[in-house]
Structure 1
Amino acid sequence: MRSMIKNMLMACGVRDIKLARNGSEAIEQMEQERFDVVLCDYNLGTGRDGQQVLEEAKYRHLLGLGSVFVMVTAENTRDMVMGAVEYEPDSYLTKPFNKDFLKTRLEKLIAKKHNLLVIEEAVEKRNYSKAVAILDEKIAAKPPNCNELRKIKGNILVNSGKLTEARALYQEVLAIRELPWARLGLGKCDYLIQNYQQAIDEFQRIKSQNPNYTPAYDWLAKSHKRANQLIEAENILKQAVSISPKAVPRQQLLGEIALVNQHQEIAESAFTKAVQHGRHSVYKHPSNYANLARVTADNHDGASALLVLKQIDLDFNNDPKADFYQASAESLIHEAMGNSDLARASLGKAAELQKSFDQSEDSDCAIELAKTYKNFGMEEESVELLKGAILNNHTDEELMDEIKLTISSLEMDEQTLGTIDSIREEVLTLNRKGVELAKSGQLDEAAKLLKETSTRMPANRTVNLNIALVLLMSMEREGANPNMIDEIKGYLARVAKADPNNSTLQKLYGRLKIMMAKTAD
C-alpha cells in the first residue's frame, strides 16, 4: 500500500516523499523534520495504530498549523471512527481510491492550510500577539477558511491567558452560527475563571446538541469534578467511554473518580482499558497499572494483583517513575497479604525513589506516596508530603482538587494538614513581602527573603519567577553580572520545565537576553 500511494504521489508531481514501515518510524521521522503532508494508514500492524500516531504527533507538537494529516483506512468500525475523530485529522481516505481522487483531496487540503505557515512561525516563537495580529488581518479578508482561522485564534488566546478576548471571539462566532468548537471554547473560558456552573451549562448544551462530540463530555466531567460533583462526573465519563472507549486519559479519569466513589468494578474496568489501550499510546502511565493492581487486590486477590504489577517490567524499560509506582502498590498489596517484610521493603524503595525525583515534576508521586503512607498509619509523613505539594504548586487549582480528593478518600482531618487555604496563604504572604521589598528598592533584601522561601518550596513557579525578576532588576540597576545571569537561568529553567508557555517566563527571558547582550558587549 505504501508503494502504491508513493507512486500515485509521484505521478501527481510530488518528489520529496518519505516512507515509514510502522508507527514508531513515523514518529521518529516527524521528530526529525516538519512535514507538509502526512498520509497515515489506521491499521499499522503491531505497535501504534494510526490514531495513536496522530495522538502522539498532536500531543508532542510534531505537526504544525500548516501541516495536513490524512488518515487512510479500510475500516469503518465505530470505535475506530470515534477514536480517530477525537484527534481531528484533516481528512480521511477510504480504500480503495485512485490517483485523481488523491490529488483532488490533497489540493483542497493544502489550499486550506497554505496561509497558516506564518502564523505557525509566530506561535513556535511564542510571539502570540504577532500570531493574533496576523490572524486578524487574514480574518478581515474573509477567506474560505475564515472559521478555521477564528478557531486557531481562539486557541491561542486561551492558551496565552487572554480569556476576555477569547470569550468575545467565541461569542461573536456563536452569534452568527452555533458551532461546537466555539461553544466548547466559551465553556473553557468559564472553567478557567472557575465559573464551573456556567461551564457545566455550556458543555451540557453541546452534549445535548451533538451527542457524539466527546470533548464536551470530557470538559463537562472535569467541571463536575471541580465542583465536587463526583457522581455526576463519573456518569458523564461512563457515557463518553461508551461512545469512544480508546481515549486513555478518559478511562484513567473515570477509574480515578470511580475509586473515590468506591465503585470498584467500574474502576477495574476503566483501568483495565487504560492499560490495554495505553500500551502503545503517548498517554501510557504506570499509575494506571498501579491502580489496576490495587483494585484487582480489592476485587479478587493479592496474587492476581501482583501479576498486574509484573506487567510494568515488560511495558516500561528502566523507568524510575514506573519503578516507584510499582513499589508503592506492591507495598500495600504485600501488607494486605500478610507479607510485612516485603511490604516494608517495597515501601522503603518507593520512598527512596520519590526523594530522587525533581520536585517540579514530582507532585503526582508525592500524592501517591502520601496515600501509601496513610494506609500504613504513617500520618505525619503523609501530611508532610501533601504540604510540600501544596507549597510547590499553590496556584495549580487542579492539583489542589487532587489533594482535596486525597484527603477525603483517606478520611484525613484537613485540620491536621493545616487546611489547604492556610498553606496557600502562607506562600502568598511570603511572595507579597518579597515583591514589596523589591518595589521599595530593597532588592538585596527581597532576593534574600525569596531565596529562603525557595529552599522550602524549590519547585514553586511564582517564587522562582519572582527571584529571577528581582535579580534582573538588580542587574538593570547595578550592571550585568555573568554569575547572576547563570543564577537567573537556573530559576527560569525550573519554571520552563513545568510551564514552558508561561507568559511571565517569556517576558523574563526577553529581559535576560538584553542583559546577556550587554555582557557580550
Structure 2
Amino acid sequence: MLGKLKYLIIDDSSSFLALARSILVQAGISNDRITATADSHKALRLLHQTKYDVVLCDYNMNCNIDGGLILDEVRQLQLQAADGVFLCVTGDNTRDVVNHFIEMEPDDYLTKPFRYIDFVKRLTKVVKRKQAMKPILQALAKRQHQQVLDMIHAPSNELKPYRGYLNRIHGDCLLRLQKHQQAVEFFQRQNQKLIWPKLGLSQALQGLGRFDEAEVILKTLLNNQPNNPQIHRDLATCIMLKEEYPRALSQFEELNEISPANPLRQVVIANLCSVLGHYDQAAVQFEKYALKVKGSHRYSLQLHIHSYQCLIFAALNGGEPQQRHRLLTQAKERLLALRNPLEQPLDSESEACFAAASALIALLEGNIEICFALCSRLQQAQLANLNFYTLINLCTLFGICGMTEEFQHCVKLASNCCEKNDDDDLLVSQIKLLKHRQLEVQQRLSSGSTLAESCLTQYQGGQFELALKQGIEAFFLVPFHHRLSLALLELLALKLETSHEPNQLQAIAKSALWVYLNDSRPDVDQKRKAKALYQQIIEQVDNDSNVVCQAG
C-alpha cells in the first residue's frame, strides 16, 4: 500500500530529512518516490507542481511560512488528492502548538522523536482510512453536501470501521446545508460524552437564532476544558452573531492567546476593531497578518494596502487636527514604502486600491478636485475582481462623495465577496463590517448635513466665527454641498480668527470654489461672485505671508 505513493518531506533540519527518508526507505518505499526540502517556499512550489500522496511536514519551520500555512495552502487550493495524507511533525509539544493542531486538524501529527514502528503504523492507518473514504472526501471537496449525506446513509462495508468520522461529517453537512433543526436532532442523538456533538448542537442552535441557548452549552464546555480552542472559537462566533462586538473582540483576543498560530484570526480581530471604530488597532492586526502570510496564497497586496488605509479611516473618524495630520502622514509614508519596491507593473486591481487610498487622503486634506478626479477614474475601473476590503473602502469613498449608484454597486460586490469565504468566523466578521461601514457612511452624511445647516443658520444669525468652525468641520464630512461651499468662501473672506494654518484655509477655499463651480445649480453671476471671493481670500493669505516674512 505505502510503496505505490509519492512522498514529500518538509523540515528545516537536514538531519531529520535524512532520518525521515531512511524510515520511508526502510518501510519499502523507493527512494525515487521521496522528495525532501528544508525550504518552505520551495515546498509550496513543489506542491503546486506535483500532487503528493503523503506530505510529512514540520510545524515550526525557520520561516514565516510554517506547517500550518502549508497545510492551509494544500487544503484551500486542493494541492493533494481527496485521499492525500498530510502529517505534521514537531519537536514542540507546548500548549500553543497542540491547540493549533486541534484547530487545523491535520490527518495526524507526531512528536519528535518517534519510533519507526509507530510512524509506519499510524501512517498506514491514516492512508487506509482516507482511501476507504475517498468518494465521500471527493464530494466534500466539491461541496456536494447532499450527495455526501446520501453516501453516508448507504455505507459500504469498508466504511463501517469509520462510523465516528462519518457521523461528524454527517453533522457538518447538515449545518452546511442549513438544515439546522435536523442538525439539532442529529447531534442530540450522538454520544454526549464526546465534545463534538455538543459543539455541533451549539452551532445548529445558532443557525436557528437561539444564541443564548448555544452560549450556555459553550460556557458549560469551557468550564471543563478552559483551553480548548474549538470551544473558545465557537463561543466567540456566537457572541459576534449576537452583535455584542466588544465581548466578541475580547473572546477572540483570548482565543488568540490560547492558540496564537492561526493568522486568519488576526483578520477577524481586525474586522471587529474596525466595527468598533478602533481603526488604528485594526491597522496593526492587518499588517501583522499580511507580513505573516506573505509568500502563501493568503497574501494579498490589496489587503496589505488596506492595513494602511485603516490609518486613513482613523483620521477620517475624528480626533484633533494634529492627530489627523499624524495619521495621514503615517498612512502616506507606509503606502509609499509599500509601492516603491514593487518591481513589476501593478495589476489594475492594485492600482484601483492605491487610487482609492489616494482619493480618501485628498478628501481629508481638502483637495476635493483631486479626490473627484480619482473617483471619476475609479468609476471606469473593473470592480468585479477587487477584494472585499478594497470594495468596502470604495463604498466609503463613493458614499461620502454622494455617488449613490456606485456606492450601492460596491456594497453588492462586497456582499458577494463575503459569500465566497470558507471560514465561518471570517465570513461573519466581514458581513458585520460591511453592515457597519454602510451605517458609518449614512451617519457621517447625516451628521455632516446637520452641521452644514447649523453653519448656515449661525451665519445668517451673525455668529461668524462659530459658523466658520462648523462650516469647515461640515465640509470634511459632506464636501459636495454647494450652499455650504459658498458660505465658506464668504466666511473665509471675512478674515476671521481660526486655528487653521493659512495654507489649510487656502486649500479649503480652493476646494470650496471647485465644488461650487462644478455644481449645476448656481447661475453665472453666483459663480462669478464665488471666483471674486476666492481671489480675495488668496490675496489676504499672500499679504499675511508677506507680513510674516517682513517681521522675520
1:47/1:319 Cα in 2 relative to 1: closer, same or farther (>3 Å)? farther
- 1:107-122 paired onto structure 2 within 5 Å: 107-122=124-139
- Give the one of 149, 168, 178 matched to 2:194: 178
Instruction: Compute the TM-score of the two structures, normalised by the length of structure 1.
Output: 0.66
Higher relative CO (CA 8 A, sep ≥ 6), structure 1 or 2? 2
Q: CA deviation at 1:84?
A: 4.2
Please say if 1:220 is aligned against 2:235.
yes
- Give the one of 382, 385, 390 matched to 2:409: 385
Q: CA deviation at 1:227?
A: 2.5
Q: Matched residues in 1 for 2:157 and 2:69: separation?
A: 36
Instruction: Compute the TM-score of the two structures, normalised by the length of structure 2.
Output: 0.63
Paired position in structure 2 for 1:59: 76
- Give the one of 82, 85, 88 matched to 2:105: 88
- 3-state DSSP of counterpart to 1:39: strand
Q: CA deviation at 1:53?
A: 0.3
User: Which amino acid in 1 is paired with 2:395?
Assistant: A
Q: CA deviation at 1:272?
A: 3.4
The answer to whether the Cα contact below 8 Å between 1:407 and 1:414 also exists between their aligned partners in 2 is: no
Q: Matched residues in 1 for 2:242 and 2:343: separation?
A: 35
- 3-state DSSP of counterpart to 2:235: helix
Paired position in structure 1 for 2:435: 404
Paired position in structure 2 for 1:327: 355
Q: Matched residues in 2 for 1:107 and 1:87: separation?
A: 21
Please say if 1:36 is aligned against 2:58.
no
Matched pairs, number: 410
Q: CA deviation at 1:14?
A: 1.9
- Give the one of 214, 238, 245 matched to 1:230: 245
- Give the one of 43, 46, 50 matched to 1:26: 43
The answer to whether the Cα contact below 8 Å between 1:260 and 1:409 also exists between their aligned partners in 2 is: no
- 1:223-262 paired onto structure 2 within 5 Å: 223-262=238-277
1:230/1:379 Cα in 2 relative to 1: closer, same or farther (>3 Å)? farther
Q: Matched residues in 2 for 1:387 and 1:89: separation?
A: 36
Q: CA deviation at 1:237?
A: 1.5
- 3-state DSSP of counterpart to 2:329: helix
Q: Matched residues in 1 for 2:126 and 2:116: separation?
A: 15
- 3-state DSSP of counterpart to 1:246: coil
Structure 2: 5+ residue stretches without partners: 1-15, 315-322, 421-426, 448-552
Q: CA deviation at 1:130?
A: 4.6
- Overall identity of the aligned pairs, in %: 22
Paired position in structure 2 for 1:480: none
The answer to whether the Cα contact below 8 Å between 2:394 and 2:410 also exists between their aligned partners in 1 is: no
1:206/1:369 Cα in 2 relative to 1: closer, same or farther (>3 Å)? farther
Paired position in structure 2 for 1:301: 327
- 3-state DSSP of counterpart to 2:35: coil
Q: CA deviation at 1:371?
A: 0.9
Q: CA deviation at 1:233?
A: 1.5
Q: CA deviation at 1:97?
A: 3.5
Cα deviation, 1:384-413, whole Å, max 9, x if unaligned, reads 336655997999995764443113333438
Q: Matched residues in 1 for 2:212 and 2:418: separation?
A: 23
Q: Which runs of 4+ in 1 moved over 6 A?
A: 139-142, 390-397, 413-416
1:84/1:242 Cα in 2 relative to 1: closer, same or farther (>3 Å)? same
Paired position in structure 2 for 1:3: 18
Paired position in structure 1 for 2:291: 276
Please say if 1:370 is aligned against 2:387.
no
- 1:96-111 paired onto structure 2 within 5 Å: 96-111=113-128
1:386/1:323 Cα in 2 relative to 1: closer, same or farther (>3 Å)? closer
User: Which structure's CA Rg is the greater one?
Assistant: 2
Q: CA deviation at 1:195?
A: 3.7
Q: CA deviation at 1:52?
A: 0.5
1:128/1:252 Cα in 2 relative to 1: closer, same or farther (>3 Å)? closer
- 3-state DSSP of counterpart to 1:96: coil
Q: Matched residues in 2 for 1:414 and 1:44: separation?
A: 49
Q: CA deviation at 1:186?
A: 2.2
Cα deviation, 1:226-275, whole Å, max 9, x if unaligned, reads 32221222111121222223323321121222223233454344223222
Q: CA deviation at 1:196?
A: 3.5
